[in-house]
Amino acid sequence: MRGHDVGDAVDILGGARLARSLDQGATLPAQWYTSASVFERERDHIFRRCWQYVGLTEQLARPGDFFTAQLGEVPIVLTRPEDGQIRAFANVCRHRGALVVREECGNRKTLQCHYHAWTYNLDGSLRAAPAAKEQASFDARAFGLIPMHVETWGPFIFVNPDCEASPLSDTLGELPALVAATGLDLNGIRRRVRRIYDIAANWKVVIDNYLECGTLSLPCAA
């Protein structure tokens, strides 16, 4: 299917008419779910620049724990080194761009790329690179894994790939205070069941579905 061009996307994304439509309880315009240009703008402005939930702190309970995730097109790996600080990196080897960690999760002292055995510490620093000593100017300190911003709210871990990202608190706004006012102990939350499955649909269709509990959304006339 041929997607809309960037000009079409700008027309679709803007306008007081859309704002009024949403205020009246309508869904997003149909083009938002099918336009290739809209999807590209979403990848740029949402998945590459915004805080995204990636997992729970219980997945990194012990030093050496790691797990992998995906932020749009960007593979990431989260670790907990011996210092206890949660870290996030692009899961891409600095040598030839291969995935460093191919497992979903585990516990290790180091992360080693399967391609040419470049090995990284859990803090992202390069530990070893075969034949590196043959290059007199090679500086291992310049070839660590690319770090990403990572913060937590209660047991929830969020990552932002934007190097100029504002703090997570700017995104959460008054939500932490509202939750605290209910008396809910967020740190007491534990995962009971986890299911992973692929859905052949635009990501907003899935979000819309999970937001519908107790609400009414009307088809958009745009």
Closest CA to 18 of 26, 7, 10: 26
Per-residue pLDDT, 7: 46
Q: What's the average model confidence in pLDDT over 175-188?
A: 93
Q: What is the DSSP string of 203-214?
A: HHHHHHHHH-TT
Give yes or no for residue 12 having a pLDDT over 70.
no
Q: What is the pLDDT of residue 52?
A: 94
CA dihedral (46, 52, 54, 60) positive or negative: positive
pLDDT in tens, 70-110: 988 899 999 999 999 999 999 999 999 999 999 999 999 99
182-199 pLDDT, tens per residue?
A: 999 998 888 888 888 888
Beta bridge partners of residue 160, listed in sequence order: 149
Residue-wise pLDDT for 117-130, tens only, equals: 999 999 999 999 98
Q: How many CB atoms lie within 10 A of CB 18?
A: 17
- Sheet of 119-121: strand order equals 110-112, 119-121, 126-128
Residue bearing the bigger pLDDT, 11 or 148: 148
Residue 213: what pLDDT? 64
Q: What percent of the chain has pLDDT over 70?
A: 89
pLDDT value at residue 222: 37
Per-residue model confidence (pLDDT) at position 11: 52
Q: Which amino acid makes up residue 38?
A: V
Region 124-149: what's the mean pLDDT? 88
Q: Where are the alpha helices (DSSP H) in the chain?
A: 6-13, 16-23, 36-42, 168-172, 175-181, 203-211
**What count of other Cβ atoms lies within 10 Å of the Cβ of residue 199?**
9
